[in-house]
Structure formats: structure tokens, C-alpha cells
């Protein structure tokens, strides 16, 4: 209670001070807020704005997709809570990205480490092109925080998660984003050390998904497993999510949003490469879902619905980095591999005692790593850095040598070190201060009641869910192969 009050005081005073400081100075120092100058200079601006904005809107809807996917995979007693997290991380995160995240990411680079620029989109930033970039980047940033919420579902204190999601969107994400997309050191690996075109990540397998997944991994590790996830001998047990149909709706909405995510990342429809990107995105998702269907069918004896959904997500995450630099067949191969890796990764983390209720770490972190690396293998040298002009991104298979591959691996390592490192320290500090996890009683009662005083489905009771499913569990004789 005490820390909560303090935290809310700090936040509200911050808002107040900022608001006041803005209100005393309503000076318009804008660049081109009406857009007429921009349009006069570039007649393709209208179509490129249309493309980028529509893509940003699709990406925005992914918030709803994540809410459905994560909601469907948790128990009914924690569904209001996961809904609130998805609402809250976006609302606070977008304010954080507006306040400091955006300039940290895209401002003038300080030693390739972080950027500085117009905070709060003030002054110079009041410009149609800057605002355009902001909204597209903002919805990306929102995605990263949301991913972490999945891995930490069903046991994290809301208050703590609220702070975490703010920090991810306002600090951790933008700084790493600066390294790759803001002119930071990872993007300079090519120029400085001759490693391909430097670390490249077309739409964010690393910048978005590995960041979300890495933070989720740190969180899941520090939180520990949900009560009942492991039996007395430490063997994992099933904790079925409360609505498979909700989860599948989430998958379709996410896939839809991904067509904004990947093709939209050209930020220009005049890059006709967008059609190639749309196709690779579709095929990698299909391939991931296809192989997860077949593989779980074989392994578990049944085609597993939510794993098939996760397979789609894994395929999409993996293709996110290479989407613009590979052909259709390569997208299929990348997606197939991602789907297989994901299934094994889910089982691996589960066995290792890391409890990730929705498979966020496997789908985003692990498939994200594979996506970044696949650029170094499959990039076919027909497209450059967000432009049809060379130099072109070329991987091992197309005679690009190992330079690009090495740059990709360095990015993977830097990403994991930065994200996992900082989030681990932050979550650990929060754990020791305001606490990371709800009490045993609260967890058993369900977070809906204890964190929000509200249950998700009051017209439908589900009182026996625990005893009905978890207990009396007798390990299946014939184990999974």
C-alpha cells in the first residue's frame, strides 16, 4: 500500500509538472506541422503516408491480438488481470515513449549508445514526418512490453508490472532500438568492421521480439513457476488456458497486424518490395503453423491447437528480421525451422522449471534469434537497407560470406546481454523492494479478485477449476517421445 501510494504520487506529479511546464510555453517551433512543404517537396509523400499509417494501425491492433492470445491461455480467474495488463502497458508505455523513449531511440546519437532530441514531441518535432515516424515506432514499442506480460502471467503483482512495462517502453527498448535503427553501434558494424551491412533487422525480430522475450525470460526466472505447475518430483503439469477460441482469435488478429509490422517497415509504398515482404510474412507464418501441427500430432498423438497457433507466431517472429531480403521458398524454410524450434523450446523451458504460461520466450526470444541469424544465411542480395539501391544484404548461401552472419550473431548477443541484463537487475530490485509476485493466497484466489476486485465472468462460476484439473494428476505412463 505504502509503495503504491508513493509510486502513484511520483507518477502523477511527474505528469503535473510536465503538463504545467508545457502549458506555460505553447510556442510553436515546428518544422512542418501542416505538411504542405513536405508534400510540395515530395509528391510521393501522400501514398507513403497512407501506407505507413495504415500499417501502423494494423500493428496497433496487435495489442488486441495479444490480449486475446494471452487471455485465452491463462485461467479464467486471471483473465481480467491479463486484460488490464494489455491495456495498461500500452497506455502508460505510449506516454513513456512520447516523453523520452522516442528521442532516446531516434535522437542525435551519443557515441552510438543512445539518442537525444525533442522530448515530448515538442518544438522541432511538431512535423508531419516526425509524427509519422513516431506513431509507427510507438506501436512497435508497445508490442515489446506486451510480450513480456505473457511470460509473467498469472502471478505478477500488477503494480510492479506497471512499472516494468513503463521502463521497457521508455528505456530498455529505445536504447537497444537506437543501436540498430537509430544509427547506433550495431548498425555501424559494417562500416566500422566490414561485417556485411552491419547488424540488420528489417522489422524487429531482435528489436521488438527478442526484447520482449528477453524481458519475459528474466521475469519468468525471477518470479518462479506458478503454484501447481510442477508436481512433487518436479515434473511439469498442464495448467490449461481457459479459452482456446479466444487464443485462436488472438493468433489471427496478430497475423493480420503482422502485415502492418513487416511490409509497413519500409515506411514507403514506393518501395514496391512490400509485396515480397507480405508474401514472405504470410508463408513463414503458415509454415510455422503447419509444422507445429504435424510435429505435435506426431509427438503428442494429437494436433495441438494452441501449439499450432504458437507455431504461426514463431514463424512470423522469425521472418520479421529477414522478411525483405529473402524469397518465398526461404521464408517457408525459415518458418518451418521456427515452428520446430518453438515446440522444442517450449518443452525445454518447461522442463527446466521456467514457467512461461503462453510460450512467449520460445515464440519471441528463441524464434527471434533464429530470425536474426537466418538473415545471414538466406539474404539473397536483391534488396538493400530499406531501399532498392545497393549495397544489398547478402547471406552465406548467396555468396555473401560470413560477414553478415557474424554481424547478426553479434546483434543477438548484444540484444540478449542488454535486455536480459538490465531487466534482470530491474526486476530483481523491484522484487527486493515492492515485490514481484503476489502472495500464495492471492495466486490461488486468482489475480482478478485480489488485484482488481473484479472477476472476468461473474455470470459463470468456475469454483472447482483447480481440483478438477490439476490434482489427482497421475503422470501418464507412456511419456512423450
Partner 1 sequence: MKKIEAIIRGEKLNEVRKALLEADIPGITVYEVRGKGNQKGLELQFRGRPYNVDLLPKTKIELMVSDKNSEKVVELIKETAHTGNVGDGKIMILPMDDLIKIRTGESGDYAI
Q: Does 81 bind partner 1 (CB under 8 A)?
A: no
Interface with a second copy in residues 46-65 (CB under 8 A): 46-51, 53-54, 56-58, 60-61, 63-64
Locate cell 502492418: which residue?
A: 260
| Residue 396: CB atoms within 10 Å | 15
Residue 406, classified by CB atoms within 10 Å of its CB into exposed (0-12), middle (13-18) or buried (19+), is middle
| Contacts of 342-345 spanning 24+ positions with Cβ under 8 A | 342/288, 342/292, 342/310, 342/311, 342/313, 342/314, 342/366, 342/367, 343/292, 343/295, 343/296, 343/299, 343/307, 343/310, 343/311
C-alpha 481, offset from chain centre: 31
Q: Decide which of partner 1, a second copy, none touches 476; Cβ closer than 5 to 8 Å per partner kind.
A: partner 1
Of the candidates 148, 308, 342, 430, which one interacts with a second copy according to CB under 8 A? 308
Q: Does 105 bind a second copy (CB under 8 A)?
A: no
Cα(245)–Cα(68) distance, rounded to whole angstroms?
A: 9
Name the segment binding a second copy (CB under 8 A); options: 29-37, 183-191, 204-212, 425-433.
29-37
Closest CA to 89 of 12, 162, 154: 162
- Alpha-carbon torsion (278, 321, 341, 304), positive or negative: negative
Number of residues that bind partner 1 (CB under 8 A): 40
Interface with partner 1 in residues 329-348 (CB under 8 A): 343, 346-347
Q: Does 317 bind a second copy (CB under 8 A)?
A: no
Interface with partner 1 in residues 276-295 (CB under 8 A): none
Q: How far is the CB of 171 from a second copy (least distance, A)?
A: 18
| Residue 399: CB atoms within 10 Å | 9
Q: How far is the CB of 428 from a second copy (least distance, A)?
A: 24
Interface with partner 1 in residues 223-242 (CB under 8 A): 236-241
Interface with partner 1 in residues 440-479 (CB under 8 A): 444, 449, 452-455, 458, 461, 463-464, 466-474, 476
Of the candidates 89, 350, 443, 451, which one interacts with partner 1 according to CB under 8 A? 350
- Please spell the DSSP secondary structure of 257-283, one letter per residue: HHHHHTGGGGS-TTSTTHHHHHHHHHH
Q: How far is the CB of 72 from partner 1 (least distance, A)?
A: 12
Q: Does 457 bind a second copy (CB under 8 A)?
A: yes
C-alpha 254, offset from chain centre: 11
Interface with a second copy in residues 204-263 (CB under 8 A): 240-246, 248-249, 251-253, 255-256, 259-260, 263
Cα(152)–Cα(358) distance, rounded to whole angstroms?
A: 9
Q: Does 327 bind a second copy (CB under 8 A)?
A: yes
Of the pair 42, 191, the CB lying nearest a second copy is at: 42
Q: Compute CA distances 401 → 186, 370, 381, 393, 418, whole Å.
A: 19, 18, 12, 11, 27
DSSP E strands, 385-461: 392-394
Q: Decide which of partner 1, a second copy, none touches 56; Cβ closer than 5 to 8 Å per partner kind.
A: a second copy
Cα(302)–Cα(419) distance, rounded to whole angstroms?
A: 36
SS3 content of the chain, % helix, strand, coil (to 5): 70, 5, 30
Q: Does 123 bind partner 1 (CB under 8 A)?
A: no
Q: Decide which of a second copy, partner 1, none touches 61; Cβ closer than 5 to 8 Å per partner kind.
A: a second copy
Of the pair 153, 312, the CB lying nearest a second copy is at: 312
Q: Decide which of a second copy, partner 1, none touches 385; Cβ closer than 5 to 8 Å per partner kind.
A: none
User: What one-character DSSP code corresponds to residue 456?
Assistant: S
Of the pair 63, 205, the CB lying nearest a second copy is at: 63
Q: Does 381 bind a second copy (CB under 8 A)?
A: yes
Of the pair 328, 413, the CB lying nearest a second copy is at: 328
Amino acid at each position: 500500500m505504502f509503495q503504491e501510494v508513493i509510486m502513484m504520487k511520483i507518477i502523477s506529479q511527474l505528469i503535473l509538472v510536465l503538463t504545467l511546464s508545457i502549458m506555460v510555453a505553447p510556442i510553436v517551433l515546428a518544422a512542418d506541422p501542416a505538411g504542405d512543404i513536405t508534400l510540395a517537396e515530395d509528391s510521393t509523400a501522400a501514398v507513403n503516408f497512407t501506407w505507413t499509417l495504415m500499417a501502423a494501425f494494423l500493428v496497433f491492433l496487435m495489442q488486441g491480438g495479444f490480449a486475446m492470445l494471452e487471455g485465452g491461455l491463462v485461467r479464467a480467474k486471471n483473465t481480467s488481470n491479463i486484460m488490464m495488463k494489455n491495456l495498461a502497458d500500452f497506455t502508460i508505455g505510449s506516454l513513456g515513449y512520447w516523453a523520452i523513449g522516442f528521442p532516446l531511440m531516434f535522437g542525435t546519437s551519443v557515441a552510438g549508445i543512445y539518442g537525444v532530441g525533442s522530448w515530448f514531441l515538442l518544438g522541432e518535432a511538431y512535423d508531419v514526418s516526425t509524427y509519422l515516424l513516431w506513431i509507427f515506432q510507438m506501436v512497435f514499442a508497445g508490442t515489446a512490453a506486451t510480450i513480456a506480460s505473457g511470460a509473467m502471467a498469472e502471478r505478477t503483482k500488477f503494480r510492479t508490472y506497471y512499472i516494468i512495462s513503463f521502463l521497457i517502453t521508455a528505456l530498455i527498448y529505445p536504447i537497444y532500438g537506437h543501436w540498430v535503427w537509430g544509427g547506433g553501434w550495431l548498425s555501424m558494424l559494417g562500416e566500422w568492421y566490414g561485417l556485411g551491412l552491419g547488424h540488420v533487422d528489417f522489422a524487429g525480430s531482435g528489436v521488438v521480439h527478442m526484447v520482449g522475450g528477453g524481458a519475459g525470460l528474466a521475469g519468468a526466472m525471477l518470479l518462479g513457476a506458478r503454484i501447481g505447475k510442477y508436481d512433487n518430483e518436479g515434473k511439469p503439469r498442464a495448467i490449461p488456458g481457459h479459452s482456446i477460441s479466444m487464443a485462436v482469435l488472438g493468433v489471427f488478429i496478430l497475423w493480420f497486424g503482422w502485415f502492418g509490422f513487416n511490409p509497413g517497415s519500409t515506411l514507403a509504398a514506393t518501395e514496391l518490395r512490400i509485396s515480397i515482404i507480405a508474401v514472405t510474412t504470410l508463408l513463414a507464418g503458415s509454415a510455422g503453423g503447419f509444422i507445429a501441427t504435424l510435429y505435435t500430432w506426431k509427438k503428442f498423438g494429437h494436433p495441438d491447437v494452441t501449439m499450432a497457433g504458437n507455431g504461426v507466431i514463431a514463424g512470423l517472429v522469425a521472418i520479421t528480421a529477414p522478411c525483405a531480403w529473402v524469397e518465398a521458398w526461404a521464408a517457408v524454410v525459415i518458418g518451418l525451422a521456427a515452428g520446430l524450434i518453438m515446440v522444442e523450446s517450449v518443452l525445454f523451458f518447461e522442463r527446466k522449471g521456467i514457467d512461461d504460461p503462453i510460450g512467449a520466450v520460445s515464440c519471441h526470444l528463441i524464434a527471434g534469434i533464429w530470425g536474426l541469424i537466418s538473415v545471414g544465411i538466406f539474404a539473397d542480395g536483391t534488396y538493400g537497407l530499406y531501399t532498392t539501391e545497393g549495397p544489398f544484404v547478402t547471406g552465406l548461401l548467396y555468396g555473401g560470406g560470413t560477414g553478415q552472419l557474424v554481424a547478426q550473431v553479434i546483434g543477438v548477443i548484444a540484444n540478449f546481454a542488454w535486455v536480459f541484463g538490465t531487466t534482470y537487475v530491474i526486476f530483481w530490485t523491484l522484487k527486493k523492494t515492492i515485490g514481484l509476485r503476489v502472495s500464495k493466497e492471492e495466486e490461488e484466489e486468482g489475480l482478478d479478485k485480489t488485484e482488481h476486485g473484479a472477476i472476468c465472468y461473474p455470470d459463470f462460476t468456475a469454483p472447482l477449476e483447480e481440483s478438477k484439473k490439476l490434482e489427482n494428476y497421475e503422470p501418464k505412463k507412456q511419456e512423450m517421445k
